[in-house]
Structure 1
Amino acid sequence: MNIIKNKKIWFSLSLIVIITGMVLGMIRGYNLGIDFTGGTLIEIQMNEYVEADEIREITDEIDKSATINHIGETKDIIQIRTTKNLNNEERINLFNIFKEKYNLEDSQPLRSEQFGPAMGKEIQNKALLSVLVATVGMLIYITFRFQLSYGISAILALTHDVLFVLAIYAIFRIPLNSPFVAAMLTVVGYSINDTIVIFDRIRENMKNAKRNAYEEVAETSIKQTISRSINTSLTTLLAIVALYVFGVESIREFTFPLLSGIMIGTYSSIFIASPIWVLIKGKKGNI
């Protein structure tokens, strides 16, 4: 299989997913979590550890996008986060359902408060600023270490990764929250590492290549490094899958975007970044 010659196929596949996600995101909106929209947080002292799925049978009646976490040494405290702003009466009614089902005392709701949308707006702004600073820093570093064409190709591939993951979240209506932002920044750093490995091999192979043999050099370099990229990603994914399967819900909120991001980042390092570099070099020459 010639990866560079089939670049239109890879570009088309990515564009279909990204455009579908963007259209659905504009039509239906993204499923923003409490960190971005504001909402209600309630903590209840249970008499024992209760499975999240059992708790969700109650909370789904109020908010299907609510998140459930277990805290405390014995995990007998449940933390409920809803994207809906529940007033005092609604919070009392919710606790009364738990009280009746699990034979709780009146003193067992430990915490109950609301988060306004202003806090969510601040998180969004800081998240965008973090991504922007990281992107500019990487562009400067890669341009200094390699050439501008490598830097542009890497940043476009990273943009592809973020948009692709956002598209998945829009298509499947997965809640977006602050762990997603942390996971995306991790994925950006991981993905750029894979891309630089391939670019470094391209730079080495270009020293002995014919003039303007960009496509041939890129194809050779990918084939020389593809096993390393895939094996590295697989070992990382094994650890993340274990966290996702055996972790609590708050851990899953962080590991799911990591899982999807690392797979997409590996894909983009091989099938997107190098073909973009070939296109840029073919049009602009020595940049």
Structure 2
Amino acid sequence: MRLLKLVPDDTNIGFLRWRNIAVGLSVVMILASIALVVIRGLNFGVDFAGGLMMEVRFEQEARLDELRSTVNSAGAGSASIQTFGDANTVSIRLPLPPGDEAAVQRVVAQVQDTIRAKSPDASFRRTETVSGKVSGELVNAGAVAILFAMIGISIYIWFRFEWQFGVGALFALLHDVALTMGFFAVTQIEFDLNIVAAILTIVGYSLNDTIVVYDRVRENLRKYRKMGMAELLDLSLNETLPRTIVTSLTMIIALATLVFFGGSVLFGFSITMLLGIIIGTYSSIFIAAPILIWLGVGPQSFLAQSASAETRLNPKSRSERPGA
């Protein structure tokens, strides 16, 4: 019985021929994502924004305008209301009332009674409260976690390979995080601590994929010292392509299942991971690899000392790609 191969052994795709278009498009998308985050902002959940959040489900499709008027009539402050997962479930966010826990519970009970009076079919799934001080600390901690993860990863790759590889990995990670943040700015999906965890997971996955490619590039630099850099990168990408496709496809199938059947609680995390896997796979192929050419990586720079030593010992020795 023959084994199923998603990528044939003789695959030879010229990825590097599209490097200028791919990197140019990525730069535009990064700038657009940053602009969207600045202009539109993120729909911070209670974890980051602070305040009172209530998740309510109705038997019929929720009418947001009527519900907003109903909640505002309760006198608990201006409400921010949006659908959550499906048209029958809504998320209601209110400013945190002054006072102790008893004051918060009074506001919760008042809002719930007001909604039930208009919509007896309403069911309240959960209620969360976060103070402004705690939310501010969480925002800072989340940003610092993502930033230091990216910097630490780049330093690791720098010491494992060369500084050019660290720069390439950092740019690829910046690409992945920026596009993910831009997605949240466009869709206004609630951004909470679960999303920060998903982004950190994306950083780790993208790094793993990039290191696999970089490791094969390093091996091929030792084997094919007369090969052009673009050709060598294409060879390395095609050699690692089966692993990339199988790993990414497996993750995509699992995450797509969670997106459609995992429910509203897992939706934000699942859609972030799904998008991140796709973006991370793209960046490992079209961003992390081509940037090495512009940073001047080649056999003469990466293995200059070892190559010189081998040449002195055996001037006639050379490693060339078979059939080249």
Task: State the TM-score bracket (shorter-chain normalisation).
Answer: 0.7 to 0.9
TM-score, normalised via structure 2 length: 0.72
User: Which residue does the alignment assign to 1:41?
Assistant: 53
Q: CA deviation at 1:151?
A: 1.7
**Structure-2 separation of matches of 1:42 and 1:30:** 19
Distance 1:111-1:148 versus aligned 2 partners, 3 A rule: closer
1:28 aligned onto 2:40: yes
Q: CA deviation at 1:13?
A: 1.7
Which structure is larger by alpha-carbon Rg, 1 or 2?
2
SS in 1 for 2:272: helix
User: Which residue does the alignment assign to 2:282?
Assistant: 267
Distance 1:99-1:189 versus aligned 2 partners, 3 A rule: same
Per-residue CA distance 1:148-189 (angstroms, 9 max, x = gap): 221221111111100111112122333221111000000000
The amino acid that maps onto 1:219 is D
Per-residue CA distance 1:183-237 (angstroms, 9 max, x = gap): 0000000111111111111111111223573222111111111232122111111
User: Retained in 2: the 8 A contact 1:218–1:278?
Assistant: no
User: Retained in 2: the 8 A contact 1:39–1:81?
Assistant: no
SS in 1 for 2:281: helix
**Structure-2 separation of matches of 1:53 and 1:145:** 57
Gaps of 5+ in 2: 1-12, 70-78, 98-103, 304-324
The amino acid that maps onto 1:33 is G
The amino acid that maps onto 1:84 is L
1:121 aligned onto 2:132: no
User: Which residue does the alignment assign to 1:99?
Assistant: 116
User: Which residue does the alignment assign to 2:26?
Assistant: 14
Distance 1:251-1:144 versus aligned 2 partners, 3 A rule: same
Which of these residues, 266, 278, 281, is aligned with residue 251 of structure 1? Answer: 266
**Structure-2 separation of matches of 1:110 and 1:9:** 48
The amino acid that maps onto 2:189 is I
User: Which residue does the alignment assign to 1:85?
Assistant: 95
Distance 1:230-1:254 versus aligned 2 partners, 3 A rule: same
User: Which residue does the alignment assign to 2:317?
Assistant: none
User: Which residue does the alignment assign to 1:74?
Assistant: none
SS in 2 for 1:281: coil
Which of these residues, 182, 195, 206, is aligned with residue 210 of structure 2? Answer: 195
CA root-mean-square deviation: 3.3
**Structure-2 separation of matches of 1:263 and 1:53:** 35
Per-residue CA distance 1:118-169 (angstroms, 9 max, x = gap): 2221111111221233223322322232222212211111111001111121
The amino acid that maps onto 1:265 is G
The count of aligned residue pairs is: 270
Distance 1:5-1:238 versus aligned 2 partners, 3 A rule: same
Aligned pairs for 1:121-200 (under 5 A) are 121-200=136-215
Distance 1:68-1:34 versus aligned 2 partners, 3 A rule: farther
